[in-house]
Homo-oligomer: A and B are copies of this chain.
């Protein structure tokens, strides 16, 4: 990762400083909560994508650093709220904010982080980016709301899954890359290319995440294997498995509806040891290559090479 981040390393440190400055709050509890949420060992992929995407035209650190920090804060806010909704206890090998501080404080911390992210985004003084930012949060929260009415049905399951992960994950990556492009005054075709890169990157990222939920090493992934199905989330591995095992569909549906621990564990085991894992990784590889192809219109440069390398990394990672 250090090699990949090299073209923007010094500015990523400025993003880190901006995030750190965020934690200097008006009262100790807020400072403590912000520090807990932000010093979580995240890989800062979204800030890196924003900075790298800003490297092709007018690279303006005074605009890109607040935007990169805003993307990370928005991401953090959605995680904090997601963990309330899913009753998640552990993230990145630590208690979630809601587990450590209670759901009420987690809810309010998320709200504060949304607002602070919006404030940093507004520091770019760029109305297009500000509108994109608001639109992104509408997409994320709307998508999660739609997911609360989710009922597993095999017909259309893949399409539903793709639109879900586009809303919950990919749009935050495309916000990062698109806003980097906009803030560097890139022409429209480049803005579109970098938005597409972010979108496909995010789709690949989420498919891999969903695979790791089945096959990952619990210590590396930082949360229990099979968490998704346990929370009623039907992701690509389960969908592919259900498609190729129609006789198991009733059982899968029962596991989702009852969340019976034994049943969920047995389905996780069946999916984990089946060929669908390899098929999912193929799909992720395809999405990643679409991300790379979107970069074709850009000239060769260290930033472009890093974006290519990140798209490769995202489908090879183990955590």
| A residues neighboring B (CB under 8 Å) | 25-27, 29-30, 33, 81, 84-85, 102, 104-105, 107-112, 114-116, 118-119, 122, 125, 127, 130-131, 133-138, 140-142, 144-146, 148-149
Contact = CB atoms under 8 A, between A and B. Distances in A.
A316 to B, nearest CB: 33
Contact of A138 (B107, B110, B119, B144): B119
A137 B108 contact: no
A162 to B, nearest CB: 15
A145 B30 contact: yes
Contacts of A144: 108
Nearest to A119: B134
B138 A104 contact: no
Given A125-B127, A127-B125, A138-B112, A145 B85 contact: no
Top 3 closest pairs, chain A to chain B, by CB: A115-B137, A111-B141, A119-B134
B25 A112 contact: no
B142 A131 contact: no
Contact of A108 (B85, B112, B122, B130): B85
Given A111-B114, A115-B137, A148-B104, A30 B142 contact: yes
Given A30-B145, A105-B148, A145-B33, A135 B112 contact: no
Contacts of A30: 142, 145-146
A85 B114 contact: no
Contacts of A33: 145
